[in-house]
Chains A and B, each alone.
Chain A
Protein backbone atom coordinates (compact mmCIF):
# COMPACT_ATOMS: atom_id res chain seq x y z
CA UNK A 1 0.00 0.00 0.00
CA UNK A 2 1.00 3.59 -0.66
CA UNK A 3 1.66 4.51 2.95
CA UNK A 4 2.89 1.17 4.28
CA UNK A 5 6.27 2.66 5.16
CA UNK A 6 4.62 4.97 7.70
CA UNK A 7 3.21 1.95 9.51
CA UNK A 8 6.45 -0.03 9.14
CA UNK A 9 7.75 1.58 12.33
CA UNK A 10 7.77 0.69 16.00
CA UNK A 11 8.45 4.33 16.90
CA UNK A 12 11.36 3.04 19.00
CA UNK A 13 13.18 6.35 18.54
CA UNK A 14 16.55 4.94 17.49
CA UNK A 15 16.46 7.29 14.48
CA UNK A 16 15.83 10.35 16.66
CA UNK A 17 18.83 9.45 18.79
CA UNK A 18 21.29 9.59 15.88
CA UNK A 19 19.87 12.38 13.71
CA UNK A 20 22.60 15.07 13.60
CA UNK A 21 20.11 17.86 12.86
CA UNK A 22 17.57 16.74 15.49
CA UNK A 23 14.64 16.04 13.19
CA UNK A 24 11.80 14.70 15.39
CA UNK A 25 11.34 11.64 13.17
CA UNK A 26 9.21 9.70 15.64
CA UNK A 27 6.87 12.68 16.09
CA UNK A 28 6.56 13.21 12.35
CA UNK A 29 5.59 9.54 11.85
CA UNK A 30 3.00 9.95 14.61
CA UNK A 31 1.64 13.09 12.91
CA UNK A 32 1.47 11.34 9.53
CA UNK A 33 -0.51 8.53 11.17
CA UNK A 34 -2.80 11.14 12.73
CA UNK A 35 -3.53 12.60 9.31
CA UNK A 36 -4.04 9.18 7.75
CA UNK A 37 -6.49 8.24 10.52
CA UNK A 38 -8.43 11.43 9.79
CA UNK A 39 -8.47 10.45 6.12
CA UNK A 40 -9.68 6.94 7.04
CA UNK A 41 -6.52 5.44 5.56
CA UNK A 42 -5.30 3.48 8.59
CA UNK A 43 -4.54 -0.22 8.10
CA UNK A 44 -7.55 -2.37 9.02
CA UNK A 45 -5.71 -4.06 11.91
CA UNK A 46 -4.77 -0.70 13.38
CA UNK A 47 -8.42 0.36 13.20
CA UNK A 48 -9.45 -2.86 14.92
CA UNK A 49 -7.01 -2.44 17.80
CA UNK A 50 -7.98 1.21 18.28
CA UNK A 51 -11.61 0.10 18.45
CA UNK A 52 -10.79 -2.65 20.97
CA UNK A 53 -9.06 -0.14 23.22
CA UNK A 54 -11.89 2.38 23.01
CA UNK A 55 -14.65 -0.20 23.53
CA UNK A 56 -13.05 -2.90 25.68
CA UNK A 57 -10.21 -0.97 27.37
CA UNK A 58 -7.55 -3.37 26.14
CA UNK A 59 -5.90 -3.93 22.74
CA UNK A 60 -6.95 -7.56 22.41
CA UNK A 61 -10.66 -6.95 23.03
CA UNK A 62 -10.51 -9.25 26.06
CA UNK A 63 -13.20 -9.55 28.69
CA UNK A 64 -12.58 -6.73 31.18
CA UNK A 65 -14.02 -8.79 34.04
CA UNK A 66 -10.99 -11.09 33.71
CA UNK A 67 -8.40 -8.31 34.05
CA UNK A 68 -7.62 -9.27 37.63
CA UNK A 69 -7.62 -13.04 37.20
CA UNK A 70 -3.84 -12.94 37.80
CA UNK A 71 -4.41 -12.27 41.50
CA UNK A 72 -3.88 -15.38 43.61
CA UNK A 73 -4.65 -15.90 47.31
CA UNK A 74 -1.01 -15.73 48.40
CA UNK A 75 -0.54 -12.15 47.14
CA UNK A 76 -0.83 -9.48 49.83
CA UNK A 77 -2.71 -6.47 48.46
CA UNK A 78 -4.11 -3.47 50.30
CA UNK A 79 -7.47 -1.77 49.85
CA UNK A 80 -6.29 1.71 50.75
CA UNK A 81 -2.54 2.00 50.17
CA UNK A 82 -1.13 5.17 48.61
CA UNK A 83 0.97 2.86 46.43
CA UNK A 84 -0.80 1.23 43.51
CA UNK A 85 0.35 -1.49 41.12
CA UNK A 86 -0.76 -1.34 37.49
CA UNK A 87 0.01 -4.63 35.77
CA UNK A 88 -0.87 -3.45 32.26
CA UNK A 89 -2.91 -5.28 29.63
CA UNK A 90 -0.36 -7.81 28.38
CA UNK A 91 0.52 -9.02 31.85
CA UNK A 92 -3.08 -9.03 33.07
CA UNK A 93 -4.33 -11.24 30.26
CA UNK A 94 -1.30 -13.13 28.96
CA UNK A 95 1.58 -13.06 31.45
CA UNK A 96 0.09 -13.33 34.96
CA UNK A 97 3.30 -14.85 36.31
CA UNK A 98 5.07 -11.48 35.92
CA UNK A 99 2.47 -9.68 38.02
CA UNK A 100 2.58 -12.40 40.65
CA UNK A 101 6.39 -12.31 40.88
CA UNK A 102 6.30 -8.52 41.10
CA UNK A 103 3.81 -8.52 43.99
CA UNK A 104 5.70 -11.28 45.81
CA UNK A 105 8.92 -9.26 45.53
CA UNK A 106 7.17 -6.14 46.81
CA UNK A 107 5.58 -8.15 49.64
CA UNK A 108 9.08 -9.37 50.59
CA UNK A 109 10.06 -5.75 51.07
CA UNK A 110 6.97 -5.07 53.20
CA UNK A 111 5.05 -3.28 50.45
CA UNK A 112 1.41 -4.24 49.98
CA UNK A 113 0.12 -2.16 47.06
CA UNK A 114 -3.47 -1.74 46.01
CA UNK A 115 -4.77 -2.25 42.51
CA UNK A 116 -6.99 0.08 40.51
CA UNK A 117 -10.49 -1.37 40.55
CA UNK A 118 -11.22 0.66 37.44
CA UNK A 119 -7.88 -0.16 35.76
CA UNK A 120 -7.59 0.68 32.08
CA UNK A 121 -5.19 0.32 29.19
CA UNK A 122 -2.61 3.13 29.19
CA UNK A 123 -3.49 3.47 25.49
CA UNK A 124 0.05 3.74 24.17
CA UNK A 125 -1.25 2.32 20.89
CA UNK A 126 -3.41 5.40 20.44
CA UNK A 127 -0.41 7.64 21.09
CA UNK A 128 1.69 5.70 18.59
CA UNK A 129 -1.01 6.05 15.98
CA UNK A 130 -1.76 9.72 16.43
CA UNK A 131 -5.22 9.47 17.98
CA UNK A 132 -4.69 12.65 19.95
CA UNK A 133 -8.31 13.62 20.67
CA UNK A 134 -9.25 10.24 22.14
CA UNK A 135 -6.04 10.29 24.19
CA UNK A 136 -6.73 13.72 25.64
CA UNK A 137 -10.10 12.59 26.96
CA UNK A 138 -8.68 9.36 28.33
CA UNK A 139 -5.67 11.04 29.99
CA UNK A 140 -7.97 13.45 31.82
CA UNK A 141 -10.43 10.78 32.97
CA UNK A 142 -7.78 8.28 34.04
CA UNK A 143 -5.56 10.79 35.84
CA UNK A 144 -8.53 12.31 37.65
CA UNK A 145 -9.63 8.82 38.74
CA UNK A 146 -6.19 7.83 40.07
CA UNK A 147 -5.80 11.14 41.89
CA UNK A 148 -9.28 10.79 43.44
CA UNK A 149 -7.97 7.69 45.27
CA UNK A 150 -5.17 9.65 46.92
CA UNK A 151 -2.46 7.67 45.14
CA UNK A 152 1.10 8.91 45.65
CA UNK A 153 3.05 6.28 43.73
CA UNK A 154 2.00 4.15 40.75
CA UNK A 155 4.19 1.14 39.99
CA UNK A 156 4.13 -0.24 36.45
CA UNK A 157 5.67 -3.40 35.00
CA UNK A 158 5.36 -2.36 31.38
CA UNK A 159 7.83 0.35 30.30
CA UNK A 160 5.28 1.44 27.69
CA UNK A 161 2.78 2.27 30.45
CA UNK A 162 5.54 4.24 32.17
CA UNK A 163 6.37 6.19 29.03
CA UNK A 164 2.71 6.93 28.33
CA UNK A 165 1.67 7.92 31.83
CA UNK A 166 4.86 9.78 32.65
CA UNK A 167 5.49 11.33 29.24
CA UNK A 168 2.31 11.55 27.18
CA UNK A 169 -0.35 12.24 29.82
CA UNK A 170 1.29 15.45 31.09
CA UNK A 171 1.54 16.67 27.47
CA UNK A 172 -2.07 15.77 26.72
CA UNK A 173 -3.60 16.86 30.05
CA UNK A 174 -1.41 18.24 32.86
CA UNK A 175 1.32 17.31 35.31
CA UNK A 176 0.39 14.36 37.53
CA UNK A 177 0.16 14.66 41.31
CA UNK A 178 1.46 11.10 41.70
CA UNK A 179 4.79 9.53 40.80
CA UNK A 180 4.98 6.84 38.08
CA UNK A 181 7.72 4.30 38.77
CA UNK A 182 8.87 1.39 36.59
CA UNK A 183 9.01 -1.77 38.71
CA UNK A 184 12.72 -2.26 37.99
CA UNK A 185 13.53 1.16 39.43
CA UNK A 186 11.70 0.30 42.62
CA UNK A 187 13.41 -3.11 42.80
CA UNK A 188 16.81 -1.44 42.46
CA UNK A 189 15.98 1.08 45.19
CA UNK A 190 14.72 -1.64 47.55
CA UNK A 191 17.93 -3.62 47.05
CA UNK A 192 20.06 -0.54 47.72
CA UNK A 193 18.05 0.15 50.89
CA UNK A 194 18.60 -3.49 51.98
CA UNK A 195 14.85 -4.07 52.03
CA UNK A 196 15.24 -7.00 49.65
CA UNK A 197 17.60 -9.84 50.60
CA UNK A 198 18.84 -11.55 47.46
CA UNK A 199 20.82 -14.76 47.01
CA UNK A 200 23.27 -15.51 44.22
CA UNK A 201 21.70 -17.37 41.30
CA UNK A 202 25.07 -18.01 39.59
CA UNK A 203 23.73 -17.52 36.08
CA UNK A 204 24.95 -15.90 32.88
CA UNK A 205 22.16 -14.36 30.82
CA UNK A 206 21.62 -12.35 27.65
CA UNK A 207 19.89 -9.09 28.54
CA UNK A 208 17.30 -7.55 26.21
CA UNK A 209 16.89 -3.86 26.99
CA UNK A 210 13.68 -1.86 26.64
CA UNK A 211 13.35 1.07 24.21
CA UNK A 212 11.10 2.97 26.62
CA UNK A 213 13.72 2.82 29.40
CA UNK A 214 16.80 3.26 27.23
CA UNK A 215 18.05 6.16 29.31
CA UNK A 216 18.30 3.93 32.34
CA UNK A 217 19.97 0.72 31.22
CA UNK A 218 22.22 0.50 34.28
CA UNK A 219 19.25 -0.26 36.55
CA UNK A 220 18.51 -3.79 35.27
CA UNK A 221 22.23 -4.54 35.26
CA UNK A 222 22.54 -3.43 38.90
CA UNK A 223 19.65 -5.70 39.90
CA UNK A 224 21.04 -8.70 38.04
CA UNK A 225 24.59 -8.19 39.29
CA UNK A 226 23.28 -7.95 42.84
CA UNK A 227 21.79 -11.43 42.61
CA UNK A 228 24.85 -13.06 41.11
CA UNK A 229 23.69 -12.94 37.50
CA UNK A 230 26.33 -12.11 34.93
CA UNK A 231 24.99 -9.99 32.06
CA UNK A 232 26.23 -10.82 28.58
CA UNK A 233 25.81 -7.81 26.32
CA UNK A 234 24.19 -8.68 22.99
CA UNK A 235 24.39 -5.24 21.37
CA UNK A 236 27.29 -3.69 23.31
CA UNK A 237 24.80 -1.73 25.48
CA UNK A 238 22.94 -0.34 22.46
CA UNK A 239 19.17 -0.76 22.69
CA UNK A 240 17.66 -2.57 19.70
CA UNK A 241 13.87 -2.74 19.42
CA UNK A 242 12.09 -6.11 19.68
CA UNK A 243 9.98 -5.28 16.62
CA UNK A 244 6.52 -5.51 18.17
CA UNK A 245 5.19 -2.05 19.15
CA UNK A 246 3.07 0.58 17.48
CA UNK A 247 1.20 -1.86 15.25
CA UNK A 248 4.17 -3.40 13.47
CA UNK A 249 3.44 -6.89 14.82
CA UNK A 250 -0.23 -7.09 13.75
CA UNK A 251 0.21 -5.27 10.44
CA UNK A 252 3.54 -6.75 9.35
CA UNK A 253 4.08 -9.96 11.34
CA UNK A 254 6.94 -11.32 9.25
CA UNK A 255 8.97 -8.11 9.49
CA UNK A 256 8.19 -7.92 13.19
CA UNK A 257 9.40 -11.49 13.77
CA UNK A 258 12.53 -10.90 11.70
CA UNK A 259 13.39 -7.94 13.93
CA UNK A 260 12.85 -10.10 17.03
CA UNK A 261 15.24 -12.54 15.41
CA UNK A 262 18.06 -9.97 15.68
CA UNK A 263 17.92 -10.21 19.49
CA UNK A 264 17.00 -13.90 19.67
CA UNK A 265 19.91 -15.00 17.47
CA UNK A 266 22.46 -12.95 19.42
CA UNK A 267 21.06 -14.17 22.73
CA UNK A 268 21.03 -17.79 21.67
CA UNK A 269 24.69 -17.49 20.67
CA UNK A 270 25.73 -16.56 24.21
CA UNK A 271 23.24 -18.11 26.65
CA UNK A 272 20.21 -20.36 27.00
CA UNK A 273 18.39 -17.66 29.00
CA UNK A 274 17.31 -14.23 27.84
CA UNK A 275 16.19 -11.77 30.51
CA UNK A 276 14.07 -8.73 29.69
CA UNK A 277 12.07 -6.13 31.59
CA UNK A 278 9.40 -5.30 29.05
CA UNK A 279 6.50 -7.80 29.08
CA UNK A 280 5.53 -6.87 25.53
CA UNK A 281 9.10 -7.65 24.35
CA UNK A 282 8.86 -11.00 26.15
CA UNK A 283 5.46 -11.79 24.67
CA UNK A 284 6.73 -11.01 21.18
CA UNK A 285 10.09 -12.75 21.61
CA UNK A 286 8.34 -15.91 22.75
CA UNK A 287 6.11 -15.85 19.67
CA UNK A 288 9.16 -15.59 17.38
CA UNK A 289 11.48 -17.86 19.36
CA UNK A 290 12.77 -20.66 17.11
CA UNK A 291 15.55 -21.56 19.51
CA UNK A 292 15.68 -23.47 22.80
CA UNK A 293 15.99 -20.11 24.45
CA UNK A 294 14.16 -19.49 27.71
CA UNK A 295 12.90 -15.92 28.17
CA UNK A 296 12.14 -14.49 31.61
CA UNK A 297 11.20 -11.19 33.12
CA UNK A 298 13.63 -9.73 35.64
CA UNK A 299 10.93 -9.88 38.34
CA UNK A 300 10.82 -13.67 38.00
CA UNK A 301 14.58 -13.97 38.55
CA UNK A 302 14.38 -11.60 41.48
CA UNK A 303 11.65 -13.71 43.08
CA UNK A 304 13.78 -16.84 42.54
CA UNK A 305 16.76 -15.09 44.12
CA UNK A 306 14.79 -13.99 47.18
CA UNK A 307 13.18 -17.42 47.64
CA UNK A 308 16.46 -19.33 47.24
CA UNK A 309 17.64 -20.96 50.48
CA UNK A 310 14.28 -20.30 52.17
Chain B
Protein backbone atom coordinates (compact mmCIF):
# COMPACT_ATOMS: atom_id res chain seq x y z
CA UNK B 1 0.00 0.00 0.00
CA UNK B 2 1.29 3.42 -0.92
CA UNK B 3 0.55 6.37 1.31
CA UNK B 4 -0.46 9.31 -0.80
CA UNK B 5 -2.83 10.81 1.79
CA UNK B 6 -0.33 13.42 2.93
CA UNK B 7 0.36 14.43 -0.68
CA UNK B 8 -3.35 14.79 -1.42
CA UNK B 9 -3.86 16.80 1.77
CA UNK B 10 -1.05 19.17 0.76
CA UNK B 11 -3.13 20.54 -2.13
CA UNK B 12 -3.41 24.31 -1.74
CA UNK B 13 -6.40 24.62 -4.11
CA UNK B 14 -4.50 26.91 -6.48
CA UNK B 15 -6.37 25.37 -9.45
CA UNK B 16 -3.28 25.52 -11.69
CA UNK B 17 -3.86 21.90 -12.66
CA UNK B 18 -7.33 22.83 -13.89
CA UNK B 19 -5.85 25.25 -16.45
CA UNK B 20 -3.52 22.74 -18.12
CA UNK B 21 -5.54 19.52 -18.02
CA UNK B 22 -6.82 18.64 -21.52
CA UNK B 23 -9.83 16.82 -20.04
CA UNK B 24 -10.80 19.84 -17.93
CA UNK B 25 -10.38 22.05 -21.01
CA UNK B 26 -13.08 20.16 -22.91
CA UNK B 27 -15.31 18.83 -20.09
CA UNK B 28 -15.20 21.62 -17.53
CA UNK B 29 -14.45 21.87 -13.83
CA UNK B 30 -16.32 18.72 -12.80
CA UNK B 31 -13.36 16.75 -14.15
CA UNK B 32 -10.12 18.16 -12.79
CA UNK B 33 -6.85 16.54 -11.73
CA UNK B 34 -7.53 17.90 -8.25
CA UNK B 35 -10.87 16.12 -8.22
CA UNK B 36 -9.22 12.87 -9.34
CA UNK B 37 -6.73 12.74 -6.48
CA UNK B 38 -9.38 13.72 -3.97
CA UNK B 39 -11.19 10.47 -4.80
CA UNK B 40 -8.33 8.51 -3.23
CA UNK B 41 -9.92 8.11 0.22
CA UNK B 42 -13.11 6.86 -1.42
CA UNK B 43 -11.21 4.33 -3.55
CA UNK B 44 -9.27 3.13 -0.50
CA UNK B 45 -12.34 2.74 1.72
Assign chain B's interface to a size class: 20 to 34
- In the docked arrangement, what's the CA distance between A6 and B43, Å? 10
Residues of A within 8 A of B7 (CB): 23-24, 28
Asked whether, in the complex, the Cβ of A32 is within 8 Å of the Cβ of B26, the reply is no
> What's the least CB distance linking A170 to chain B, in Å?
19
Residues of A within 8 A of B39 (CB): 3, 5-6, 32
Asked whether, in the complex, the Cβ of B25 is within 8 Å of the Cβ of A21, the reply is no
Residues of B at the A interface (CB closer than 8 Å) are 2, 4, 7-8, 10-12, 14, 16-17, 19-23, 25-27, 30-31, 33, 35-37, 39-40, 42-44
Asked whether, in the complex, the Cβ of A259 is within 8 Å of the Cβ of B25, the reply is yes
- In the docked arrangement, what's the CA distance between A18 and B12, Å? 13
Residues of A at the B interface (CB closer than 8 Å) are 2-3, 5-6, 8-10, 12, 14-15, 17-21, 23-25, 27-29, 31-32, 35-36, 39, 240-241, 243, 248, 255, 258-259, 261-262
Q: A9-B23, A28-B4, A240-B22 are in contact. Are A20 and B16 (CB under 8 A)?
A: yes
Residues of A within 8 A of B22 (CB): 10, 12, 14, 240-241, 243, 259, 262
- In the docked arrangement, what's the CA distance between A240 and B26, Å? 12
Residues of B within 8 A of A241 (CB): 22
Residues of A within 8 A of B35 (CB): 5
Asked whether, in the complex, the Cβ of B11 is within 8 Å of the Cβ of A21, the reply is yes
Give the 6 A-B residue pairs with the shortest CB-CB distance, closest first: A15-B33, A15-B17, A258-B26, A14-B20, A18-B16, A259-B22
> What's the least CB distance linking B6 to chain A, in Å?
10
- In the docked arrangement, what's the CA distance between A32 and B31, Å? 15
Contacts A21-B10, A28-B8, A32-B37 known; list 5 others, CB within 8 Å: A3-B42, A19-B16, A29-B33, A241-B22, A262-B25
- In the docked arrangement, what's the CA distance between A248 and B43, Å? 19
Across chains A and B, the number of contacting residue pairs, with CB separation under 8 Å, is 93
> What's the least CB distance linking A37 to chain B, in Å?
11
> What's the least CB distance linking A45 to chain B, in Å?
17
Q: List 28 A–B pairs whose Cβ atoms lie within 8 Å, in order of A's numbering.
A: A5-B30, A5-B31, A6-B36, A8-B23, A12-B22, A14-B17, A15-B21, A17-B20, A18-B20, A20-B14, A21-B11, A23-B8, A25-B37, A28-B37, A28-B40, A29-B36, A29-B37, A31-B40, A32-B37, A32-B43, A35-B44, A39-B43, A255-B23, A255-B26, A258-B26, A258-B27, A259-B25, A261-B26
- Among A20, A32, A241, max chain B CB count under 10 A is at A32
Asked whether, in the complex, the Cβ of A262 is within 8 Å of the Cβ of B23, the reply is no
- Among A24, A28, A240, max chain B CB count under 10 A is at A28
> What's the least CB distance linking A188 to chain B, in Å?
27
Residues of B within 8 A of A15 (CB): 17, 20-21, 33
- In the docked arrangement, what's the CA distance between A10 and B21, Å? 9
- In the docked arrangement, what's the CA distance between A18 and B34, Å? 12
Q: A17-B20, A18-B17 are in contact. Are A23 and B10 (CB under 8 A)?
A: yes
- In the docked arrangement, what's the CA distance between A14 and B24, Å? 12
- In the docked arrangement, what's the CA distance between A40 and B12, Å? 32
